[in-house]
Amino acid sequence: MKFGGTSMGSAERMKIAADICRQQKATRPVVIVVSAMSKVTDLLINTLRHAEGGDKAGVETNIEALRKRHEDTCRELLPPAAQTEAMVGINALIAEFQRITGGVLMLGERPPRSVDEAIAMGERLSALLIAAFLDSTGIKAKAINAATVIVTDAVFGNATPLMDPTREKAQSILMPLLADDVLPVVTGFNGATADGRPTTLGRGGSDFSASILAAALDASELWIWTDVDGIMTADPRLVKDAVVLSEVTYSEAAELAYNGAKVLHPRTLAPLVQKEIPVWSKNSFNLAAPGTKIVTTISAPGGARAVTSMANVALVSVEPASAEISGTRVMARALDALSMVNAEVLTFSSSSYRQSFCFLVRKEELSAVTKCLEDGLSLELAHGYLKPIEVDENVGLLAIVGEGMRGAAGLAGRIFTAVSREKVNIIAIAQGSSELTINIVVRRDDVEKAVKAIHAECRMSELASF
């Protein structure tokens, strides 16, 4: 089971999480993976920025806030007899963080491996606290730093697990604990390279940590505890009658996560698909809600089942200025440039005699993307073979997802009609050959209208309750 930041957000929440552990552990062996307490990772990252900028006072203020949050939680959570030892642990971890920020202050820069070591401190603190609490209630538990279990490549900040060595370590470190009736409390988010350099799996990566461990341990199920009732037909802040889907396939869940649904980290499902380990997305704030089950195949009716949207995106367009230039070659060069900066292309669309094409990237990646494109295509641009690269930041991406969309004739037509009825102009369209997802790009101001129209047209709330 994995508990997210809000599920670990206070002493009260940790007690609820611990109670869930107690109940489940009574029925079968359980390993838990925990996020940092809510907002703590942001605080850690912000502290490193202050340190890099030489702002010593800012660093100290943040570290005091970090200390207070965890010491207060410790006092509220643990019986007095257990507090002393936990406080020693908290202080040691904060001292470690302080040592790293001291180094960053001195250097005036943030070496990636030190960043990864530092920002995993939130998970180590929360793991320590909940493990101590479980222990104090008579459930044997042990906090484990995932750097000793999850082996990754050396892409700091966005590492990928190496499954074979991870499996070996998970088996040799965690299995004996389970055999001893100890509940392992593993930190989410982090790992280490084979030679021991600390890494992290990307923001929100604790879900991924949990699925890596579930696969490595051949778990029978993975439960992901969050603060929403499950995977929904749409963002309930945009669509009032959005409802929870009781079952979705791995592919649907992955498409939804990739296209902006916040409930799961996009990389979570990959390790589980082959072993067909089912995932439950559940709400630790609403234990009565059944949640969403993610499995290989479902019996739900056809059609489009959910619609997501993403606003922090930008549309980049490239257009040849002369017919002499090979469009394919320009595309190849552009994609090559994008891969150099590891940018993710969210949708790609091309169809024109003019060989123009456009694609969508995340706003955070935009400046790196435009720079690499301009470098990669500098000759063509300089000689006027290409028009200047255009960027439109005033757009949003919608994704309409459903296994049942495959081969459903007329569906795209209905979606476009529904959108156009709202006078929403569609800027770009993309559909992969799996027919699982239709992506449309609209003006930012039209996102909400389009989401509502599509949700209603495809009768998503009704379909979900079958």
Distance CA 201, CA 35 (A): 12
The interface with ligand ASP within residues 25-64 (CB under 6 A) comprises 35-36, 41
Q: Which residues pair with 248 in a beta bridge?
A: 294
Comparison of 31 and 458: residue with beta carbon closer to Mg ion:
31
Q: Answer yes or no whether residue 206 interacts with ligand ASP by CB under 6 A.
A: yes
Residue nearest to ligand ASP (CB): 206
**Stretch touching Mg ion by CB under 5 A, among 164-172, 197-205, 293-301, 361-369:** 197-205
Closest distance to Mg ion from the beta carbon of 250 (Å): 18
- The site partner of 283 among ligand ASP, Mg ion, none (C-beta below 5 to 8 Å per kind) is none
Closest distance to ligand ASP from the beta carbon of 17 (Å): 14
Comparison of 165 and 202: residue with beta carbon closer to ligand ASP:
202
Residue nearest to Mg ion (CB): 204
- Draw the binding track, 102-141, toward ligand ASP (x: CB under 6 A; -: no contact): --------------------x-------------------
Cα 120 → chain centroid: 15
Closest distance to Mg ion from the beta carbon of 201 (Å): 11
Residues 6+ apart with CB under 8 A from 164: none
Q: How many CB atoms lie within 10 A of CB 55?
A: 15
Q: Answer yes or no whether residue 266 interacts with Mg ion by CB under 5 A.
A: no
Q: Answer yes or no whether residue 204 interacts with Mg ion by CB under 5 A.
A: yes
Comparison of 45 and 82: residue with beta carbon closer to ligand ASP:
45
Radius of gyration in angstroms for the set of CA atoms belonging to the chain, rounded to a whole number: 24
Closest distance to Mg ion from the beta carbon of 171 (Å): 26
Q: Residue with structure tokens 């593993």?
A: 186
* Interface with ligand ASP (CB under 6 A), residue from 22, 203, 354, 449: 203
Q: Is 196 exposed, middle or buried (0-12, 13-18, 19+ CB in 10 A)?
A: exposed
The interface with ligand ASP within residues 290-319 (CB under 6 A) comprises none
Cα 373 → chain centroid: 26
Six token digits for residue 37: 């307490």
Q: Which residues pair with 141 in a beta bridge?
A: 183
**Number of residues engaging Mg ion in binding (CB under 5 A):** 2
Closest distance to Mg ion from the beta carbon of 32 (Å): 15
Closest distance to ligand ASP from the beta carbon of 36 (Å): 4
Closest distance to Mg ion from the beta carbon of 161 (Å): 17
Q: Answer yes or no whether residue 4 interacts with Mg ion by CB under 5 A.
A: yes
- The site partner of 122 among ligand ASP, Mg ion, none (C-beta below 5 to 8 Å per kind) is ligand ASP
- The site partner of 188 among Mg ion, ligand ASP, none (C-beta below 5 to 8 Å per kind) is ligand ASP
Closest distance to Mg ion from the beta carbon of 274 (Å): 23
Q: Phi/psi of residue 290, each to 5°? A: -70, -25
Distance CA 72, CA 84 (A): 13
Distance CA 124, CA 257 (A): 26
Q: Phi/psi of residue 282, each to 5°? A: -130, 160
**Number of residues engaging ligand ASP in binding (CB under 6 A):** 11
* Interface with ligand ASP (CB under 6 A), residue from 29, 184, 204, 402: 204
For 222-281, give the secondary structure using H, E and C.
EEEEECCCCCECCCCCCCCCCCECCEEEHHHHHHHHHCCCCCCCCCCCHHHHCCCCCEEE
Q: Phi/psi of residue 67, each to 5°? A: -65, -45
**Angle at alpha carbon of residue 245, lines to 217 and 234, rounded to 5°:** 115
Residues 6+ apart with CB under 8 A from 298: 247, 248, 249, 403
In contact, 128 and 90? CB cutoff 8 Å: yes
Q: Answer yes or no whether residue 260 interacts with Mg ion by CB under 5 A.
A: no
The DSSP-derived string for 403-447 is: TBTTT-TTHHHHHHHHHHHTTPPEEEEEE-TT-SEEEEEEEGGGH
Q: Phi/psi of residue 79, each to 5°? A: -65, 150
Closest distance to Mg ion from the beta carbon of 303 (Å): 29
Comparison of 147 and 338: residue with beta carbon closer to ligand ASP:
147
Q: Residue with structure tokens 């392992």?
A: 184
* Interface with ligand ASP (CB under 6 A), residue from 29, 188, 191, 266: 188
Comparison of 45 and 175: residue with beta carbon closer to ligand ASP:
45
Three-state secondary-structure class, residue 401: strand
* Interface with ligand ASP (CB under 6 A), residue from 3, 189, 223, 359: 189
Distance CA 330, CA 325 (A): 8
- The site partner of 189 among ligand ASP, Mg ion, none (C-beta below 5 to 8 Å per kind) is ligand ASP
3-state helix, strand, coil in the chain (%, to 5): 45, 20, 35
**Stretch touching ligand ASP by CB under 6 A, among 200-208, 307-315, 387-395, 419-427:** 200-208
Comparison of 31 and 395: residue with beta carbon closer to ligand ASP:
31
Q: How many CB atoms lie within 10 A of CB 356?
A: 18
- The site partner of 233 among Mg ion, ligand ASP, none (C-beta below 5 to 8 Å per kind) is none
* Contacting residues toward ligand ASP, per CB under 6 A: 5, 35-36, 41, 122, 188-189, 203-206
* Contacting residues toward Mg ion, per CB under 5 A: 4, 204
